[in-house]
Amino acid sequence: MALLGLLLLLTKAGSSAGLSTADPEPSSVPKPTSVTVESYNLNPVLYWEYQNMPKTPVFTVQVKTYESAVWLDACVNISHHYCNIFHQIDDPSSPLWARVKARVGQRESMYAESKEFTLCKQGKIGPPALNVRKVDNNIAINIFHPLIVINGETLGAMYDEDSACYAFEYHVYIRVKGSENTDKKQVSDPCDETQCELSIPVSSLNAEYCISAEGVSGRWHVTTEKSKEVCIAIFNRSIKALCGQKRHIGDETRLKIHVGCHLLPAVGPGRREGAL
Ligand SMILES: *[C@@H]1O[C@H](CO)[C@@H](O)[C@H](O)[C@H]1NC(C)=O
Ligand SMILES: *[C@@H]1O[C@H](CO)[C@@H](O)[C@H](O)[C@H]1NC(C)=O
């Protein structure tokens, strides 16, 4: 987290420095400025700024990866100020460089280059999705891995360090509403390609439990955004006795519920509580 924060700081510092750099030759076409790669959920995009010109400029973006070691076109003669470079990346764990030049009429600027960028290390990752429900005397929590979404298209989940940078360990925060304390559980098992699971016993009845989670990658020092809290109300089962009847059958105590008695509307088994 500290590393990521530092990198973000450096990126910010880099962009403001780029802004103030004056073009050395006033007659030539100026270079783009504030050239930075930003990535969200493994979708990397190069952004830049450009001054207002009398004639509309177009831009050409090239990417060089550590493996290829040659500059390859990513976007050619585009008029907007961003270019998706996902398809130029051969290995998300290796560094890449991106550069952009401007063309106005028949004249071109020099290339302006980004800082080195490693997708797994510097990309920002959104929160895991949560599903929370009551099963017997437990709260069952499903934590769904963040998805890789490229230009609006879902390519899969982040569950594997080789293909998708991260096999997250999840930090799950459990808060009883009205209480100051937040309990924290670390979950890395059981997990599959879609999700990890956690079951916690209900220790306090007639309470509302609020659950949130974030993913942590030790390998890349990356922490995902934290999910929103999902809350579930757990009621003391004995409340049933207020409108039902206890019956003893052998060793078991059973409840006979009167017709018309409204019970536990929010926590029926299998009911999905607000998936995010
Ligand atoms: C980009 O624009 C230049 C100048 O108009 C032109 O020579 C070149 O062929 C264009 N490239 C592509 C791929 O359209
Ligand atoms: C549940 O409710 C019953 C009756 O209101 C009460 O006697 C019991 O202490 C409660 N149990 C807990 C764990 O709160």
Computed over every residue of the chain, the mean pLDDT equals: 81
Cα(257) to centroid of ligand 1, in Å?
Answer: 78
Looking at 122, 143, 169, the residue that finishes a domain is 122
Q: CATH code at 57?
A: 2.60.40.10
Which bound ligand lies closest to the C-alpha atom of 234?
2
Question: What is the residue with the minimal CA distance to atom 14 of ligand 2?
Answer: 205
Sign of the alpha-carbon dihedral angle for 154, 7, 168, 216: negative
Structure tokens at 231: 């809350």
Q: How far is the CA of 246 from the centre of ligand 2 (A)?
A: 14
| In a shared domain, residues 8 and 72 | yes
Q: Assess whether 116 and 140 both reside in one domain.
A: no
To test the ligand 1 pocket, which listed residue (61, 77, 108) has its Cβ within 8 A of the most ligand atoms?
77
Kindly give the distance from the C-alpha atom of residue 109 to the centroid of ligand 1, in angstroms, as a whole number. Answer: 14
Neighbouring C-beta atoms of residue 153, cutoff 10 Å? 8
User: Atom of ligand 2 at shortest distance to CA of 206?
Assistant: 14
pLDDT of residue 255 exceeding 90: no
Nearest to 47 by CA among 70, 18, 24: 18
In the listed set 106, 122, 138, which residue is the last one of a domain according to the structure? 122
Q: 6-15, 143-152, 172-181, 222-231 — which is least confidently predicted?
A: 6-15
Which one of 87, 122, 157 terminates a domain?
122
Give a yes or no: residue 270 inside a domain: no
Residue 251: inside a domain? no
What's the domain range around 83? 2-122
pLDDT higher than 50, residue 245: no
pTM of the model: 0.71
The percentage of residues in the chain with a pLDDT greater than 70, rounded to a whole number, is: 75
Q: Is residue 243 part of a domain?
A: no
Residues 86 and 178 in one domain: no
Q: What's the total number of domains in the chain?
A: 2
User: So what's the pLDDT on residue 39?
Assistant: 95
62-79 per-position pLDDT tens digit: 999 999 999 999 999 999
| pLDDT per position as a tens digit, 206-217 | 788 999 999 999
Give the residue whose CA is nearest to atom 3 of ligand 2. 238
Q: Considering the domain boundaries, does residue 262 fall inside one?
A: no
Mean pLDDT, rounded, for 125-132? 96
What's residue 237's pLDDT?
60
